Amino acid sequence: MKKFSPILQDLIEAFKQLPGIGVKSAQRIVFYLLQGNTDKALVLAETLNNSLVSIQECTICRMYSDEELCEICKDSKRDQNILCIVESPADLIALENTMQFNGKYFVLMGHLSPIDGIGPDELKISQLEELFDSNPINEVIIATSPTVDGEATAAYIASVAQNFNIKATRIAYGVPFGGEIEYVDSNTLIQAILNRNTIGNQNQ
């Protein structure tokens, strides 16, 4: 059987790099874009290029933004006293979609994983400590995923928060253990936020 054109192979291989996209899915996407949908393909390419050039991390919360500060951090109506800590931008969006949280966020961009070489430095914990030190935060809601690594990350952040006399709470277990927050339905997330629990030895 003849091989595909090298350029076509490269295009399919490029789509295969995306999460959840296998060979067949990559082929379907590529053939769809090439079969009379070149305008859509060009819009996709231009949008992707513009996004990669323009989007950066918010200097406060690390959410992706095309400005120095994201819209949430610029919103003076948000509660300055409560901070929700999440693993990823997708988790932040999932929680925002519940419309039950009006505080600020901090995005870790991952979780502690010594095997993968991910420690406090990679999660920018020092930047989080600066937030604790320079803002009137009296509670942090730790909304890491209920996995082994997520639990370890939550425990570590709780200990950091206690050093600043900040109450640390954990979202309640409406979220299934071993699951990822971005895939949980909004009703479950609402219950998880409303029924969060204090973790660690705290007197507050």
For residue range 118-150, what is the model confidence (pLDDT) as tens digits? 999 999 999 999 999 999 999 999 999 888 899
Q: What angle do CA 124, 130, 131 make, to 5 degrees?
A: 95
The string of DSSP codes covering 119-165 is -TTTTTHHHHHHHHHHS---EEEE---SSHHHHHHHHHHHHHHHHTT
Helix (H) or strand (E) holding 71: helix 71-74
Write out pLDDT tens, residues 151-178.
999 999 999 999 999 999 998 776 777 7
Contact 140, 167 (CB under 8 A): yes
Q: How many domains does the chain have?
A: 2
How far apart CA 129 and CA 43 sit, in angstroms, is 41
Report the residue count for the chain: 204
Residue 111 lies in a domain: yes
Beta bridge partners of residue 170, listed in sequence order? 142, 197
| Full domain range(s) for residue 110 | 76-198
Residue 59 lies in a domain: no
How confident is the model over 53-65, as a mean pLDDT?
95
Write out pLDDT tens, residues 177-192.
777 888 888 877 887 7
Residue 2 confidence (pLDDT) above 60: no
- Does 93 lie in the same domain as 46? no
- Percent of the chain residues topping a pLDDT of 90: 72
CATH number for 155: 3.40.1360.10
